[in-house]
Amino acid sequence: MAKASTHGASTEDEVLIADNRKAFHDFHILETFEAGIALLGTEVKGIREGRANLRDAFAKVERGEVWLYNVHINPYSHRGYVDHDPKRRRRLLLHRQEIRKLIGKTVEKGLTLVPTRLYFKRGRVKVALALARGKQAHDKRESIKRREADRETRAAIKERSR
């Protein structure tokens, strides 16, 4: 029986490790990709302890490979002498045609690659990588207003149903 995530994972065998809620506030998400990550053993164990953070993380395409930057993975607590840099760059594992598509899209003005979720899928660590365009300040204010209006509407409906 597979574990299910409590944060709305799309399938029943995904377990959420970390999500980047700030990305949805700062960017318009256009398209998402699922990518694997090349990790060290102590990094996987640190992730299993729930010690990963996607805040301020981003990805770049360099020389035909996609690299993930600023993902903070704390070292495993029982590691002994083996250690890793918590913020080292990590290679993302994508199909060649997906990388070509990302190269074409990121050349466009204002598009960037942002990791939105880090999760386990069938025992492997995956990243949901979003192709995104940065929001302006007025867009952020508009989305905050919309979110507050939705919250007030839900509260009014809940109050009325009592």
- When divided into structural domains, the chain yields a total of 1
Residue 93 within a domain? yes
Q: pLDDT at residue 9 above 70? A: no
User: What's the confidence (pLDDT) of residue 82?
Assistant: 66
As a whole number of Å, the CA-based R_g of the chain is: 18
Residue 144 within a domain? no
Q: Tell which residue, 99, 107, 103, 23, has the closest CA to residue 57.
A: 23
Residue 34 within a domain? yes
User: What's the confidence (pLDDT) of residue 6?
Assistant: 45
Within a 10 A sphere around the Cβ of 144, how many other Cβ atoms? 11
Q: pLDDT at residue 70 above 80? A: yes
**What does the mean pLDDT of the chain come to?**
81
User: What's the confidence (pLDDT) of residue 10?
Assistant: 53
Q: Tell which residue, 29, 16, 13, has the closest CA to residue 131.
A: 29
Residue 79 within a domain? yes
Q: pLDDT at residue 13 above 70? A: yes
41-67 pLDDT, tens digit each = 778 888 888 878 888 888 888 888 889
**Whole domain around residue 113: which residue ranges?**
14-135
Residue 96 within a domain? yes
Residue 1 within a domain? no
- Model pTM above 0.75: no
Tokens standing for residue 117: 């979720």
Q: pLDDT at residue 151 above 80? A: yes
User: What's the confidence (pLDDT) of residue 127?
Assistant: 92
Compute the residue count for the chain: 162
Helix (H, G, I), strand (E, B) or coil at 161: coil
Residue 117 within a domain? yes
Q: pLDDT at residue 84 above 50? A: yes
CATH assignment at residue 121: 2.40.280.10
Residue 125 within a domain? yes
Range 12-35 average pLDDT: 84
Range 101-122 average pLDDT: 84
Q: Whole-angstrom Cα distance, residue 55 to residue 1?
A: 31
